[in-house]
Structure 1
Amino acid sequence: MIRKANAVWNGSGRDGAGRLTSASGVLTEANYGYKTRFENEAGTNPEELIAAAHAGCFSMALAFGLQAAGFTADEIRTEAAVSLDPDGQGFKISRSALTLRAKVSGIDEAKFLEIAKGAEKNCPVSKVLNAEITLDAKLES
């Protein structure tokens, strides 16, 4: 399986602007640039997209882990907070902090945390990130 996206950039790093397009069409010339990455201008940035990918991947991995253990989630809500930190002359993604809140009928806290930690370690996006990954998981009633 191969998934594709394209970036087009025009201009310098600080004053230039880019557009991101995904093969699926979900992103169609989505604006990104210095101000969307380091300030709060409307548009997206690579870290936001990595956070969305990590939250989605982890949630799906958790759903599969729960299914394999005989459970079905009523709801899985995951936020991924990706940190971009200075690194020498550039930057690095140093951390992805996952915050999970889930409703799963019939599961105890220990089993839930075991499955959630397995999903954290085994989702493909977790595996590709060379960063600290933390998980704050809570089972809700």
Structure 2
Amino acid sequence: MAVTSEATTVWKGSLIEGSGDVHLDSSDSGTFPVNWAARSEGVRDTTNPEELLAAAHSSCFSMALSHALAGAGHPPESLQTTAAVTFEAGRGVLGSHLLVSARVPDLSEEEFEAFAEDAKTNCPISQALAGIPITIEAELA
């Protein structure tokens, strides 16, 4: 079954002086302000497209890794994934770096790293981001 997710942005004004709000329509779980300063200067009072992309990447990766581990008989006790998406004005999105820490009983560090690398390559958001470098640091806690 295919599922379509939706979000709507209402933007007012020019790129530099303007601002907008992003509403997560499908879940109705929030509305977030966005502006150019958050994207280009690192101003932290609003979100930006790269932060939303990082949220999508970290959650998708965590789901893929959890599924693969459980399917191999190693359900994780916990996974924590941070995705750091880098943007530069004039160049665009430069990459996504995944930082993963997990508690997985009876699994070696080498085995875990192999599962993490596979999830990095094969989660749907990683595949959608195929045009940028994706790096990973993964460790068992």
Equivalent residues in 2 for 1:51-90 (5 A)? Answer: 51-86=54-89, 90=90
Matches within 5 A, 1:1-141: 1-23=3-25, 24-28=27-31, 30-39=32-41, 40-86=43-89, 90-129=90-129, 130-140=131-141
How big is the shift at 1:41? 4.0
1:5-41 CA deviation, whole Å, 9 max, x = no partner? 011111011000111001111222x111112222314
Kept in 1, the 8 Å contact 2:99–2:138? The answer is yes
Amino acid at match of 1:138: E
- Distance of aligned partners of 1:98 and 1:41 in 2 relative to their CA distance in 1, 3 Å threshold: closer
Amino acid aligned to 2:124: P
- Coordinate RMSD, CA, aligned: 1.1
Shift, 1:75, TM fit: 1.0
Distance 1:55 1:115 in 2: 15
Q: Structure 1 runs of 4+ off > 2 angstroms?
A: none
Distance in 2 (alpha carbons) for counterparts of 1:119 and 1:91:
27
> How many angstroms does 1:110 deviate by?
1.6
Structure 1's unaligned 5+ residue stretches are: none
Percent identity between the aligned chains?
38
Number of residue equivalences: 136
Inter-partner Cα distance in structure 2 for 1:98 and 1:32: 23
Q: After TM superposition, give the deviation of residue 85 of structure 1 in Å.
A: 2.3
